[in-house]
A and B are shown apart, each in its own frame.
Chain A
Amino acid sequence: MQYFVQQLINGLTLGSIYGLIAIGYTMVYGIIGMINFAHGDIFMIGAFTALIVFLILGALFYSVPVVVALLIMMIVAMLLTSLYNWTIEKVAYRPLRGSFRLAPLITAIGMSIALSNFVQVTQGPRNKPIPPLVSQVYTIDGISISLKQIIIVIVTIALLAIFWYLVNRTALGRAQRACEQDRKMAALLGIDVDRTISITFIMGAALAAVAGTLFLMYYGVVVFSDGFVPGVKAFTAAVLGGIGSLPGAVLGGLLIGFIESMWSAYFSIDYKDVAAFSILAIVLIFLPSGILGRPEVEKV
């Protein structure tokens, strides 16, 4: 039982990170119906930015309180990563809006390749390890919970709350939901569609940057190719939960996290990704639009 709860906690941590990335996929898909393949690499850019900010802080000050350091890392990563996603949307996706469906997918794949190789070229291909930021571990009843995990879960919950408020309670969120339902009608009613889409990309990138910072804090290492696997898994999570649905993305992320940690704990760690992907395929066969997704209504 203790072992099970332990795995549950590990899964929750992992799932929180996937969920944060998955929201970016699902929002972009919801609003412009496109798979933003570069989103995984945006996450990696976020983690790398946090790493560099951490090193700058270390070089400038003798010692910084961990909380302050984490906050600064997160904020700078959010700003710069948003700038990346904003620029990418402007340069690579916007000119192709209204073009045929595969065109933005190809530019997104191109951007993904370009981003990860840009980091490889500028920062080198090696693993970048940092000393552990927080190392406290609490043991309750034989179950050990590290402070890192608590931070990840708390930050995720806090961000989700803010995010939920933004989407459901503000004019911006209303505009977003309107664009999602009918872009032309939204434009006719005076919503700046381009601006709304840009903001969607910025929001997705900001969450991915937080996920990147948390990832760096949790694993203590980042490398240029780190965007791909978490990116694919987060996308899997978004599809699993029903792409276009925000609670679905979080649910999907948690599910993927649980599946992964349970599978590694009870079966074979080698096949954990195989398990995650197989479950995706199985779920989609029985629930073709994901768990919380709206079924696609086809009009002839």
Chain B
Amino acid sequence: MAATVSSERDDVATPVQRAFREALYAGAISLGLFVLFIGLRTDQNISNELILVKRWGLLAIVVGAVTVGRFLYVAYAVPAMERRKAEKAGAPAIVAEPGFVRRNFNKIGATLLILYPIAMVLAFGFQGSLKWVDNFGIQILIYVMLAWGLNIVVGLAGLLDLGYVAFYAVGAYAYALLGTHFGLSFWILLPAAGAMAAFWGVLLGFPVLRLRGDYLAIVTLAFGEIIRLVLINWREVTNGSAGISGIPKVSFFGLMSFNVSDPNYIAKVLHIAQSGAYYKIFLYYLILALCFLTAFVTIRLRRLPVGRAWEALREDEIACRSLGINTTTTKLTAFATGAMFGGFAGSFFAARQGFVSPESFVFLESAIILAIVVLGGMGSLGGIAVAALVMIGGTEILRELDFLKAVFGPDFTPELYRMLLFGMAMVIVMLWKPRGFVGSREPTAFLKERRAVSASFTKEGHG
């Protein structure tokens, strides 16, 4: 975080002197920022009145940490980074052949994902693997799928969508309502939920076709909020904020069931011990298959005329139109395709949780998904998967850090800091790599030889 407080006149000062001055500035600013919020705490006393609790010690520690951190950063980290940059610039530029891992990144990633539950079962046993497969594996893969779906809209077609979670909600509620009321199976409702979400995508697409850039962003945000508010208030159908529970589980293609009471319960059919882990492992492979489907469709679509039209639209809408591409249908297909995958993910989410409520479809979710797409490098499937792993996996791990209680005392709950750190991580990663983890794009059409295009040369559409 390179906030430069100093101006040109301190060219003469040594790094340490400058660092000292900047540390003082940083300390003063952080004192101003934190004096009321960390130094004092509003608490309710017995008669429900607010009182202030003083925490000057904590304030001193935080301000001190900021000051020292800024000093070390300016005095040592910045010169070190500049030296390294200078060395790099001085050395002859060697275009390194990408290593084995780089070249086969996708294959290795896919293999690891397929083997992951098996490794977890071997390492922790069936019961012990539950947490790792469910909380980490499935959770991250849901976000990977959502981000890949949104990538079609934002990364390929360049339409900034801040209400993607609406389609996720449509998919989830479609499965929840049709599954509980009509007893339809997941395998029928999965495509139905996708189609319904796609329909909503087109419905949203129509009015916003004329809008561009940030106007599009705000209307999609409004649309997401409208869907959520309707879900909360249309109590007769959606049961309001209480949500819908008792959503049926997915069956093993109708052959085996994961309900212990059913005659065709998987453990009875296969004569193995009962365990809840089978269902989780099955769900893991299901979402993994859905992810692969999303990736496959994205990769293939990019080679089809419609995918090329999306990317052309992202780069330059006017040129696109003058070349005779119908921008209306191009935008609508992007919205519909992206929404469809959101719907798939939504119905999977409903089946996995067994419970849906409007709480799960707040704007924050849209923001997180968009953040994953941008942090991963828009348009790059591998980068997005890595971003989902880092951001979602990272915050999930915070739930596990119980040993911190020993350091900070028993009142310390790492979960509380989860979203705070998530927000800060979004800022830091963006500052560190503004183009995302993967800053280059594979061209789909090329002359003679395939060259990666640096993302700096590509534009992002303005709607």
With an 8 A cutoff between CB atoms, is B424 at the interface?
A: yes
Q: B229 is contacted by which of A123, A271, A296 (Cβ under 8 Å)?
A: A271
**CB neighbours of B44 from chain A (8 A):** 126
Please report which residues of chain B, range 345-370, place their CB below 8 angstroms from some CB of chain A when the two chains form the complex.
Answer: 363-364, 367, 370
With an 8 A cutoff between CB atoms, is B214 at the interface?
A: yes
A95/B230 in contact, CB under 8 A = no
Please report which residues of chain A, range 75-113, place their CB below 8 angstroms from some CB of chain B when the two chains form the complex.
Answer: 80, 83-84, 87, 90-92, 94-96, 99-103, 106-107, 109-113
**CB neighbours of B431 from chain A (8 A):** 92, 95-96, 107
A contacts with B: majority SS: helix
Interface size class of B (residues with CB under 8 A): 35 or more
A270/B370 in contact, CB under 8 A = no
State in angstroms the CA–CA spacing of A38 and B364 once bound together: 13
- Contact status of A236 and B222, CB under 8 A, knowing A103-B434, A114-B424: yes
Residue interface bits B18-47, CB-to-A below 8 A is 1, else 0: 000000000001001100111011111000
A228/B363 in contact, CB under 8 A = yes
With an 8 A cutoff between CB atoms, is A68 at the interface?
A: no
- Contact status of A235 and B374, CB under 8 A, knowing A103-B434, A271-B233, A278-B226: no
B contacts with A: majority SS: helix
Q: Who on chain A is nearest to B372 by CB? A: A106
With an 8 A cutoff between CB atoms, is B435 at the interface?
A: yes
With an 8 A cutoff between CB atoms, is A129 at the interface?
A: yes
Residue total for A at the interface (Cβ-Cβ under 8 A): 68
A124/B42 in contact, CB under 8 A = yes
With an 8 A cutoff between CB atoms, is A166 at the interface?
A: no
**CB neighbours of B43 from chain A (8 A):** 124
A129/B318 in contact, CB under 8 A = no
B37/A123 in contact, CB under 8 A = yes
Q: Who on chain B is nearest to A127 by CB? A: B44
- Contact status of A285 and B434, CB under 8 A, knowing A113-B422, A123-B37, A235-B218: no
B420/A118 in contact, CB under 8 A = yes
State in angstroms the CA–CA spacing of A35 and B219 once bound together: 13
State in angstroms the CA–CA spacing of A107 and B423 once bound together: 8
A110/B371 in contact, CB under 8 A = yes
A83/B2 in contact, CB under 8 A = no
Q: Who on chain A is nearest to B419 by CB? A: A117
Q: B36 is contacted by which of A49, A100, A106, A112 (Cβ under 8 Å)?
A: A49
**CB neighbours of B417 from chain A (8 A):** 117, 121
**CB neighbours of B416 from chain A (8 A):** 120-121
**CB neighbours of B154 from chain A (8 A):** 102
Q: Who on chain A is nearest to B417 by CB? A: A121
State in angstroms the CA–CA spacing of A146 and B425 once bound together: 45
State in angstroms the CA–CA spacing of A243 and B143 once bound together: 33
B318/A298 in contact, CB under 8 A = yes
State in angstroms the CA–CA spacing of A103 and B226 once bound together: 26
State in angstroms the CA–CA spacing of A91 and B427 once bound together: 9
Which of B73-81, B204-212, B269-277, B293-301 touches A? B204-212
- 15 further contact pairs, Cβ within 8 A, besides A107-B430, A114-B423, A228-B363: A51-B42, A91-B1, A92-B1, A95-B2, A107-B431, A118-B37, A120-B416, A122-B41, A123-B41, A271-B229, A274-B229, A280-B219, A281-B207, A284-B219, A288-B215
List of 10 A-B pairs having minimum Cβ-Cβ separation, nearest first: A110-B426, A114-B423, A113-B423, A277-B222, A117-B420, A270-B233, A110-B427, A90-B3, A99-B434, A117-B419
Q: List 21 A-B contacts (CB under 8 A).
A: A35-B217, A48-B36, A55-B42, A94-B3, A101-B462, A102-B374, A109-B367, A109-B370, A110-B422, A110-B423, A113-B423, A114-B426, A114-B427, A124-B41, A274-B226, A281-B207, A281-B223, A284-B211, A285-B207, A298-B318, A300-B318
